[in-house]
Amino acid sequence: MKKILAPLLLIISALPLNAQLAEFQILIPAPEPAVAGEEISFQILGVNKGSMPWPKGKYETEVEIYDKNKNYLLKTSRIAGEKDVSAGGSFLFLVPFKVPSSYSGQYYFRVALIFQQQRIAYSDYIAFNITPLAAVTPLVPKVKIGGNAIFSYRNDSSSDWQNHLGNVSLNLLGNIYQKAVVFNLYTNHSSEKNFDIYNILFSYYSDLLDFSAGDVMPNFSGLSLSNAGVRGLYPVLKTGIFNTSIIAARSVEPVEGSTTTVGRFARYTYGVNEKISLPLQSEVGFSYVFSADDKNSISVKGPPGTEINAAGNEVIGLNLSVSPLRFLSILADFARSSYQEDMELTKDKINDDAYRVDLITKFSGFNLRLSQQNVGTNFYSFASPVVVKDRLTQEMDLGLNIKRTVNLSLGYSQYSDNLQKDPTKITTEQKIASAGLGLNIAKLPALSISYSNNEVNGITRSTTVVENYTNSYLIGISYPLKLFTPSFTVQQTKFVDKRNEENNRDGINYTVGLIFSIYERYSFNLGFTNSKSKKFDESEDPINNLSLNTNFNILPQKLIFSLWGNNVTRQNTSPSTPPDTTSITFNAELTYYLNEQIAWTIGAGQTNFQDKISSTNNYQDTRANTRLSINF
């Protein structure tokens, strides 16, 4: 039941974890469900809730991917905004993501928005499904090391059949001297880049040492190192009451500049964290984290005359966890940071402090969390991008679960900035209230309802310059039956800018799904998503996405035929930006099982894109691919 409900009820959930300078209104992976080995697009629509405009190229977004247990896997490349966004204005991103061919089942993603190298918005975990490729079913390893490997090759007609793309996916699981070992590797090979490690992770688990190398997301404390996907070494030594973690990794990938775009230095993070277990289920932790930009990581900074400073940051942290009662926990986190805007200059570093206190109680299906976080005006923490400086945040979360049939949640958070009351700055205040209800009663359709209200005010010494609010409603229903499962989700959002009604926007999103199967012989998934955004001038920007995925076992356990595709239409009625496009994509594959360990696949597909406004954008792309899957 949970696997069915999660992607339907959370697919457009975009409630922020805390008060933020931007708000996501619609977050949709398209198509849904995705297909392993294919490229999907995350559609991201949101609003600038702050008082500052965002120049194009200065704000970026990236999407983080997690497995079904919310363990970090990888993140997409950052995509920069192509248009200026005024205060109260909206933004749209279409972030491409090539799904690794080994992925299958339920996953989660989170969206981060970055402005001037600082994360200003971070979505909650949002579920989505990935339909597996036809491949050999992994066997329980009878030896110490087992797993599977997938070798793929694809080409298309877009560059006169010179657009070669190869992929290698290797997944190993086993034991070395009775200790668990995991290794995952996904590489891309193209004519532009012969060898690109898209995702890599090696993990070794033992009683005394957990060691990971590759794409990891360590967590020292919320203020010193957290919510940062990095690539590097992450050993954890466990000796009695002591737990020692070390990180040495690249936290930001370098980007070369050009004659039109500004580049970005690589950033490296090094740190150590010591946790000591105490009586009464308590724990104390000490951490030190150092992050610095590498000025030699790129050769071209950007257009002539561009100067980029290589910044540095140190954070010393102390955190305490105390559980005096079985149902009560108190968490306290304190950190002091030093920041240097340009490490080549000898001027004094900027120092400041931050703290966070949480009170958590849980018993008999009831949980309550109260928290307060104060981040100083000059507090910087490069390795915790979710921490925003110069901000006081207060939060409350309440949850109630009644016999796993009724789930009730309530949330409230508020923040204010400009803690030093600088009269030259705008003081921003934000309040977010949310409520959710889930019903999961046996033999009845599962129902989910949620509501949120987000208010933002920006005040100077003499006047109000920002005043807006967003209301959001969501209703989802799913009804698992014997042969098929229908589902329906609708979300409506309303953004009102009281200072400039031209920024007003109404949005509505419908998602309809149908999962159908006849034993193990035939199955298909059908999904339809309609997203519509209406502006003040009554112009609309609807996006329709119809997707289909079907599998037919021609010869059970021997020959499988797969067919999938989607139809995406977009019609914007705005007089200034009136796109009217249609994209139709279909793919077909035939998989033959040579034996229980080896399967060979051949496939083909085509995309037809039509732009009714500008026919010069029309194109037709034909693809061919093959894949070899080996289980061992």
Query: What 3-state DSSP class applies to 23?
Result: strand
Cβ neighbours, 10 Å, residue 12:
27
H or E, element range at 106: strand 105-115
Other C-beta atoms lying within 10 Å of the C-beta of residue 464: 12
SS (H, E, C) 472-519: EEEEEEECCCCCEEEEEEEEEEEEEECCCHHHCEEEEEEEEEEEEEEC
The residue assigned the tokens 């400073």 is: 309
Quote the CA–CA distance of 412 and 17 in Å, as a whole number: 10
Beta bridge pairs of residue 168 = 151, 187
CA-nearest of 491, 386, 508 to 436 is 491
C-beta atoms surrounding 208 within 10 Å: 10
Q: Which residues contact 39 (CB under 8 A, 6 or more apart)?
A: 96, 97, 98, 99
Taking all residues of the chain, what is their mean pLDDT, rounded to a whole number? 85
What pLDDT, on the 0 to 100 scale, is given for residue 412? 95
> By the 8 A CB rule, do 114 and 93 touch?
no
**Helix (H), strand (E) at residue 10:** helix 2-10
What backbone phi and psi angles, to 5 degrees, belong to 193?
Answer: -140, 110
Whether residue 31 is preceded by a cis peptide bond, meaning omega within 30 degrees of 0, is yes
First to last CA, the chain: 32
Asked if 187 contacts 195 with a C-beta cutoff of 8 angstroms, the reply is yes
What is the C-alpha separation between 182 and 156, in angstroms, rounded?
A: 34
Please give the pLDDT value at position 17: 38
CB 338 within 8 A of CB 320: no
Closest CA to 418 of 355, 375, 370: 375
**Mean pLDDT for each consecutive 10-residue tract of the chain (632 residues)?**
38 40 78 81 80 79 88 84 77 84 86 81 86 61 70 89 89 78 89 86 89 92 91 93 95 89 92 92 94 92 86 95 88 95 84 95 90 95 90 94 88 92 88 92 88 89 82 90 84 87 84 77 80 75 84 85 88 72 91 89 93 87 92 82
d(CA 285, CA 65): 28
Place of tokens 């409230």: 412
pLDDT single digits (tens) 114-151: 887 778 888 888 888 888 876 555 544 444 677 889 99
In terms of Cα–Cα distance, which of 76, 97, 215, 100 is closest to 152? Answer: 100
> Does an H or E element contain 3, and which?
helix 2-10
Phi, psi angles (nearest 5°) of residue 502: -65, -20
Per-residue pLDDT tens over the stretch 217-236 = 899 999 999 988 899 999 99
